[in-house]
Structure 1
């Protein structure tokens, strides 16, 4: 629906190369060059600077790109809205997900939704919960799946379920013999923590703070954005970490890690968040409601296993 010249221009600006844009658009390079030439003739000015092996934007090109992206986004939204009138959901759905949800909950969620609505194209962006929340609030994303309770006024949240938090450590670690562990017991051992903005880190700090222990009183041996790296260091005996139950099931079964409940028990919420908007599309609403329902069922089945 959108002007093909704008689509081509946007791709060249994104990839910084006529060749890469052509590959992405399944076009020949001369065809890409022709579309850009037509657009520049339309505006009677140069939009791109060629040189040094990469294509850059002129000041006029930056203005055209800003409007092109808005036009292309509106075109996608138009396709989605008209599709809804035919009672057949379709179009792009921009989803943000925390790292844990993306790895352990989202695959099954997307599989089920795609089977029901094959014309929907999920586009997933993975980041920590705080980053995902901010992107949904600014409408960069259609919705998010996070592990913190959102208080942003620009966001509407739906609580799907919750997942219990465990201390994880190597089988030979001193903590492994405990049936449960308090903040005071954990204080004496090195902590492998998560990156700022990560929901598990926030909950862990709140857990220690509730017992009067500040983060500066803990021995932090690593601060990591990758859950896989957190689990690897914990399995190698470098320290303990705190992780959700869903993220450690295979490691517990394989004997790589030991999982110990916190005392008192702690849980991470699984939240579906959407921008607060009275004109929200049926596609976003349908996926949000589906995600809440399916996450509840998945949690129930996991607890019974």
Structure 2
């Protein structure tokens, strides 16, 4: 219901880029430029300074941004309130999620939620746990689904379930013969790690630190942002990795990978995070509750 020009201006100001704003809004860059031009003509003043590859707000732009945030927030609240009166959950839901959850947990959750509430439009953004948490804290997302959250005071955390973490390697790898592995057993073998900000990487780092193993003692093979790439390198025998049990189940069943439990056992929490002090619609609360229920059910099924 809010003026589309204000929505576009808000996105450009927040992202500091016409290109990133266009991606966020699923628009073309010329369309974004046109909306900004229309808004500046409406106020008869420049709102953005463009120069040296950087966008900055003018004094008028700062004022418009402050009001735009209030107007857009009230518009979203109005839409949610009216929807609640009709007793039908509908509308856009901005979800951030880590790569592992996006691939191996979220599809089943979205399917069951969409069957119950077909009028809901999920918009999913995939990134590291750290990036997702920062975007939820900045109110760019309605909620996030990640492996591990920090103690940011602006974030509310809900523990939904947990997933086993296992060492994975090729069937011919020297580690494949073990029934379980300690951190010391892994020293000296090439390690395929995840990218910085990834929740599983953080848990693996803490696992080695708890065993008194310094980063310099770990033989790093690669740092990868894609779990598919991690599994491919491990299956090719280039090293071992630590991965979600749910994410590697089919690879193990089909013989591409071997999975070995760690000692002590290692798990990753699956958490739902929400902005603590933001107005929260019934739709957001309903989806958060649904995620917790579905994650717990799925985790029980795989035990």
TM-score (norm. length: structure 1): 0.83
CA distance in 2 between counterparts of 1:252 and 1:61 reads 59
Instruction: Summarize deviations over 1:169-217 as a string: whole Å, max 9, x none.
Output: 1111111111111111101201111111211111111111121111221
- Residue 174 of structure 1: aligned partner: 174
8 Å CA contact retained: 1:45, 1:60: no
CA distance in 1 between counterparts of 2:238 and 2:171 reads 12
Instruction: Summarize deviations over 1:218-273 as a string: whole Å, max 9, x none.
Output: 11111111111111111111110000101101211221111111112111111111
- Residue 3 of structure 2: aligned partner: 3
- Residue 84 of structure 1: aligned partner: 84
8 Å CA contact retained: 2:129, 2:149: no
CA distance in 1 between counterparts of 2:38 and 2:208 reads 62
Alpha-carbon spacing, 1:70–1:125, altered in 2? closer, same or farther (3 Å) = farther
- Residue 163 of structure 1: aligned partner: 163
SS in structure 1 at match of 2:196: coil
- Equivalence map 1:28-43=2 (5 Å): 39-43=39-43
CA distance in 1 between counterparts of 2:215 and 2:284 reads 38
1:140 aligned onto 2:137? no
TM-score (norm. length: structure 2): 0.84
- Residue 186 of structure 1: aligned partner: 186
Q: Which moved more, 1:250-259 or 1:61-70?
A: 61-70
- Equivalence map 1:109-124=2 (5 Å): 109-124=109-124
- Residue 94 of structure 1: aligned partner: 94
8 Å CA contact retained: 2:95, 2:141: yes
Alpha-carbon spacing, 1:211–1:222, altered in 2? closer, same or farther (3 Å) = same
8 Å CA contact retained: 1:160, 1:272: yes
Alpha-carbon spacing, 1:47–1:199, altered in 2? closer, same or farther (3 Å) = closer
1:199 aligned onto 2:199? yes
CA distance in 2 between counterparts of 1:177 and 1:184 reads 16
Shift of 1:279: 4.3
SS in structure 1 at match of 2:265: coil
SS in structure 2 at match of 1:262: strand
Q: What residue ranges of structure 2 are gaps of 5+ in the alignment?
A: none
SS in structure 2 at match of 1:255: coil
SS in structure 1 at match of 2:100: helix
Instruction: Summarize deviations over 1:36-88 as a string: whole Å, max 9, x none.
Output: 776444312356899xxxxx898478555675466445423321222122221
Shift of 1:153: 2.1
CA distance in 2 between counterparts of 1:110 and 1:229 reads 25
Alpha-carbon spacing, 1:212–1:49, altered in 2? closer, same or farther (3 Å) = closer
Alpha-carbon spacing, 1:143–1:25, altered in 2? closer, same or farther (3 Å) = closer
RMSD: 3.3
8 Å CA contact retained: 2:169, 2:240: yes
- Equivalence map 1:1-305=2 (5 Å): 1-6=1-6, 39-45=39-45, 59=58, 62-63=61-62, 64=64, 68=68, 71-277=71-277, 279-303=279-303
8 Å CA contact retained: 1:205, 1:214: no
8 Å CA contact retained: 2:80, 2:282: no
